[in-house]
Amino acid sequence: MRKPFISANWKMNKTIEETEEFINSFLPMVKDITAVDILIAPPFTSLQAVARLLKTTNIKLGAQNVFYEEKGAFTGEISPAMLLSAGCSHVIIGHSERRQYFMETDEIVNKKIKTARKNGLEVILCIGESLKEREENKTFEVLDRQLTGSLKDIDLNGMTIAYEPIWAIGTGKTATKEQANEAHAFIRGWLKKNREGAEKLRILYGGSVTPESIESLMSESEVDGALVGGASMKPDSFAKIVTGAIK
């Protein structure tokens, strides 16, 4: 059985002071939980502060992005070595907002994954379709294209997949548990056909996950956890999602 995995993605939110306040409130709420892997991905500016506060816990630290070169004249970018030095074990790559606002292609995502894995960072790869693509029954076509491009020449070691239907991100709309499980089953089927180790890989759902929806989502066989945005920014809300993920 795959261990549930819940990740917080704070996006461009929280100062260092707000981050410290969150962590100090959140830790006592989940201190006895061992049945769920927990990860927090704050902004770059808060990474070291979170690393310090999580040092004696089992909670993992992740970054929201990474560049595909290891060093050089790339103003404003962050390398894998910098993330490792700040205390990160994971990085989120290919989030729909990166694809939409920063024009990241599957090719760019693929290069980022290769560099991250080469340097020992575990990767949460985000994939998912838009509302238009779902309405045109192209969900599986989009997932196939993104998996093929993003995972080119990459094995599943150190990988997690996050299925995040774009139409459900930050909209308050959550895919039904059946829709989520159907997409996850397609992803796992693709992985089984094309890679070794597909049964062990965890597939997370991302898209307006709440304390009220997590138990229903986790009741599905192919949903192994969640990548949580808005609901991860309040300690009590995120703690309820973590506890709700225990199968």
- Could you give the residue numbers annotated as active site? 95, 164
The DSSP secondary structure of 74-128, one letter per residue, reads -TT---HHHHHHHT-SEEEE--HHHHHHS---HHHHHHHHHHHHHTT-EEEEEE-
Q: Which two tokens stand for residue 231?
A: 């609901």
Contact status, residue 85 vs residue 93, Cβ threshold 8 Å: no
CB burial of residue 110 (10 Å; 0-12, 13-18, 19+): buried
Taking CB atoms within 8 Å and a gap of at least 24, the contacts of 100-104 are 100/166
153 sits in the region (left: phi over 0; alpha: psi -120 to 50; else beta) called: left
* Chain CA centroid to CA 111, Å: 18
